[in-house]
């Protein structure tokens, strides 16, 4: 797994229902701009606020786009029940490290061993300790990589930390390290990450794709300035809780019918939308 994966929002219509036709168009636009694949029902898609029927409809739309285009699909699924609903044609399930319980690193490994035994598709570990409360060392990530069905990690620790450096200094064979902190994408790619799962890539998708390509080609002179420009975009997108700002930006650009989010999220502020406005049109590529 490498490249840019876009964790799709769930756009809402004026009546509050998921705008499935808009979602399909957005998915196609991201892929046509060069994204490698899509994530359905990731946290950016507000899955906890969707009904079972809405989640199924969203997944059907995104899976259909991926099937028609041949693009890899990742599906957010954190329990055996949710994993059972993942289409067998999906590339992987994006599965969160158990949140809140803080089971310890041995508990995390045992948890993923159990999920891998029943999952119909491979697993990508979603490691986001500032949300889950459970840190993982590079050694534990290597233990997870040794599980046959675990094929990668969305690495989102909020920093390019010592564990990331240790992991990428000698990455496990066949194990993808995907950056999950959008502002950290360029330095993670410089260390050897294979790509990213990036909510910011709803905007300026082609520029994110080119950043990955530049680092993988060793074109440092191109990658560094592009990485700085995209980091500023990502900082603006994440100035308020995700996906509030990206939805407001897509609405301002006329790509989705409303900027609406569901509780407990609140709409993005005018100031946040003003910060992201310069990135809505034109290109960050030079």
Q: Following DSSP, what letter does each residue of 180-206 receive, concatenated?
A: --GGGHHHHHHHT--EEE-GGGGSSHH
pLDDT value at position 260? 98
Taking the CA atoms of residue 241, residue 270, residue 204 and residue 234 in that order, the dihedral angle to the nearest 10 degrees is: -40
E strand segments, 69-135: 73-76, 92-96, 123-127
Number of domains in the chain: 1
Whether 130 sits among the annotated catalytic residues: the reply is no
Query: What are the pLDDT tens digits along the chain (286 aa)?
Result: 999 999 999 999 999 999 999 999 999 999 999 999 999 999 999 999 999 999 999 999 999 999 999 999 999 999 999 999 999 999 999 999 999 999 999 999 999 999 999 999 999 999 999 999 999 999 999 999 999 999 999 999 999 999 999 999 999 999 999 999 999 999 999 999 999 999 999 999 999 999 999 999 999 999 999 999 999 999 999 999 999 999 999 999 999 999 999 999 999 999 999 999 999 988 888 6
Decide if 179 is inside a domain: yes
Structural domain that includes position 177: 3-217
126 is catalytic: yes
Q: What pLDDT, on a 0 to 100 scale, did the predictor assign at position 87?
A: 93
In a domain, 168, yes or no: yes
In a domain, 181, yes or no: yes
Residue 120, domain member (yes or no):
yes
Residue of 154, 155, 247, 279 marked catalytic: 154
Residue 31 covered by a domain: yes
- 14: tokens are 């004026």
CATH of residue 156? 3.20.20.70
Q: What is the pLDDT of residue 56?
A: 97
The residue from 25, 111, 126, 247 that is catalytic is: 126
Residue 235 lies in a domain: no
In a domain, 163, yes or no: yes
In a domain, 43, yes or no: yes
Q: d(Cα 172, Cα 196) in Å, to the nearest integer?
A: 17
């Amino acid at each position: 797994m490498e490249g840019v994966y876009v964790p799709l929002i769930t756009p809402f219509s004026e009546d509050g229902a998921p705008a499935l036709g808009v979602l399909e168009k957005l998915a196609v636009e991201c892929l046509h701009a060069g994204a490698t694949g899509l994530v359905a029902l990731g946290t950016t898609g507000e899955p906890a606020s969707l009904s079972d029927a809405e989640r199924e409809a969203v997944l059907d739309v995104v899976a259909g786009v991926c099937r028609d285009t041949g693009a890899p699909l990742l599906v957010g699924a954190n329990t055996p029940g949710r994993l059972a609903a993942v289409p067998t044609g999906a590339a992987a399930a994006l599965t969160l490290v158990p949140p809140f319980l803080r089971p310890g690193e041995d508990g995390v490994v045992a948890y993923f061993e159990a999920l891998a035994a029943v999952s119909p598709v491979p697993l990508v570990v979603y490691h986001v300790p500032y949300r889950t409360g459970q840190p993982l060392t590079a050694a534990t990530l290597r233990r997870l990589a040794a599980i046959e069905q675990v094929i990668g990690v969305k690495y989102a620790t909020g920093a390019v930390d010592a564990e990331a450096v240790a992991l990428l200094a000698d990455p496990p064979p066949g194990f993808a390290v995907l950056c999950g902190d959008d502002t950290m994408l360029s330095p993670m790619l410089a260390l050897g990450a294979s790509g990213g799962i990036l909510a910011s890539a709803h905007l300026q998708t082609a520029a994110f794709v080119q950043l990955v390509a530049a680092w993988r080609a060793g074109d440092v002179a191109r990658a560094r300035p592009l990485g700085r420009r995209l980091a500023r975009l990502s900082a603006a997108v994440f100035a308020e809780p995700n996906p509030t700002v990206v939805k407001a930006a897509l609405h301002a650009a006329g790509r989705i019918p409303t900027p609406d989010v569901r509780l407990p999220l609140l709409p993005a502020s005018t100031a946040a939308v003003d910060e992201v406005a310069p990135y809505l049109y034109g290109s960050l590529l030079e």
